[in-house]
Amino acid sequence: MDLDKLQTTLEELGQPAYRFKQIKLAMYRDLKEGFDAIENIPMALRQDLDRLLPFNELILKTEQKSLDGSGKNLFFTCDDLAIESVLIKHGDGSRTVCVSTEAGCQIDCSFCATGHLGFKRVLTQFEIAEQVLSFARELKAKGEKVTNVVFMGMGEPFLNYDNVKQAILLLNDKDGFNLGQRRISVSTSGIVPGIERFTAEDWQVNLAISLHASSNVLRSRLMPINKTYPLEKLMPTLDAYVAKTNRKLMIEYLLLGELNDSSRNADALADLIHRYEEVLRLSVVNLIIYNPVNDSSGHPDRFKAPRPASLRAFEEVLTKREIAWTRRASFGGDISGACGQLAGEEVSKE
């Protein structure tokens, strides 16, 4: 729901100011699914609001469930654009929602299915937040709840900075969803002005950088945004972020078989990190195994997953070079819900 429109509508209906908070709490805290379910406001008001204002900005089109317990939702916006979100169920009981910030993406990374769609528009703060609410309602019915939110679905968050910031504040609001800032993470492809704005914020939201290569030549090949913000601009900005915030930086590194997964690549990555004192002090490399993505005709793409031996050798180099690292568990691959796979497949079928 667009809360700005709600407030205006309530004022036009001559309602007392406290009605706004009642309805906001019903949606974000109590996870009500419609005006008719908000029992602490008059029936006549429920009917008026139902007639004048859509309760949801997004329409849930399809739900897919993975064998590992993860789920992927396909939504349509009010102007008929498709976006996808993913729920990841971890073995420790935590529940992470991966949200999209744009319909399509402006970055067009070569390994990412979203980039093949092109860019339609940025999402509003309410469209972003409602992706979380949709999964939260589902989990509530099972006695569970959303524990983490990551902004690393479709789109580049820092090219929609204002709406992303407002969505974070909305989800963090104690008079609403009340999710702690330390449980929220934003992943960027390396938009330097966005990182600088993020560094200046007075909050404890986590930052992740999609690095994927330690040389400008390879990174520009994989991520065209590197031509605008090459490593010599990006890395000092990340160093300044860690120095200012004293918060751990997550360095995302997608392992692509026979492209960036060799021991030599691992050494080069370690060399890069060692050149920046603050990044070295307080960062962790998150190794991600590539999930193959078919093109629009159903043919496999040109990238492949790393061989197990290459993966082990890469990890051994990082350990030897005293680089903190972790390997991200892959979820939702069977429903194209894993890293780089969000592409609105149902749309192309239709």
Q: Specify the pairing of strand 102-104 against strand 95-98.
A: unpaired
* Residue 107 · residue 115 · CB < 8 Å: yes
- Tell me the pTM: 0.92
Residues assigned a catalytic role: 84, 339
Q: What is the pLDDT of residue 151?
A: 98
Q: Alpha-carbon dihedral of residues 53, 55, 58, 64, nearest 10 degrees?
A: -150
Terminal alpha carbon distance of the chain: 27
Q: Cβ contacts of residue 243 below 8 Å, gap of 6+?
A: 278
Q: What is the pLDDT of residue 350?
A: 41
Question: CATH 3.20.20.70 residue ranges in the chain?
Answer: 58-349
Distance, CA of 15 to CA of 34 (rounded, Å): 19
For the four alpha carbons of 15, 19, 21 and 24, in that order, the dihedral sign comes to negative
The torsion region of residue 14 among left (phi > 0), alpha (psi -120 to 50) and beta comes to left
Distance, CA of 346 to CA of 119 (rounded, Å): 17
Distance, CA of 20 to CA of 37 (rounded, Å): 15
Residue 138 C-beta-side C-alpha neighbours within 13 Å: 21
Q: What is the pLDDT of residue 334?
A: 54
Give the burial string for 310-335 (b: 16+ CB within 10 Å, else e): bbeebbebbeeeebbbeeeebbbbeb
Question: CATH 1.10.150.530 residue ranges in the chain?
Answer: 1-55
Give the burial string for 168-205 (b: 16+ CB within 10 Å, else e): bebbbbeebbebeeebbbbbbbbbbebbeebbeeeeeb
Which stretches of 163-229 are assigned E, i.e. beta strand?
A: 184-188, 206-210
Q: Cβ contacts of residue 114 below 8 Å, gap of 6+?
A: 104, 105, 154, 155, 340, 342, 343
Q: What is the pLDDT of residue 293?
A: 66
The torsion region of residue 58 among left (phi > 0), alpha (psi -120 to 50) and beta comes to beta
CATH 3.20.20.70 fits 58-349, yes or no: yes
* Residue 75 · residue 65 · CB < 8 Å: no
Q: What is the pLDDT of residue 339?
A: 47
* Residues recorded for the chain: 350
Please, what is the Cα angle at 71 between 69 and 72, to 5 degrees? 160
Q: What is the pLDDT of residue 70?
A: 87
Q: Which residue has the tokens 């399809």?
A: 62
CA distances from 22 to 35, 126, 176, 197, 329 (A): 11, 17, 10, 33, 40
Tell me which residues of the chain have a pLDDT lower than 50.
Answer: 332, 335, 337, 339-340, 347-350
Q: Specify the pairing of strand 95-98 against strand 119-122.
A: unpaired
DSSP state of 289: E
Q: Name which CATH class applies to 1-55.
A: mainly alpha
3-state secondary structure of 248: coil
Q: What are phi and psi of 106, to 5 degrees?
A: -90, -10
Q: What is the pLDDT of residue 340?
A: 47
pLDDT tens column, 190-229: 999 999 999 999 999 999 999 999 999 999 999 999 999 9
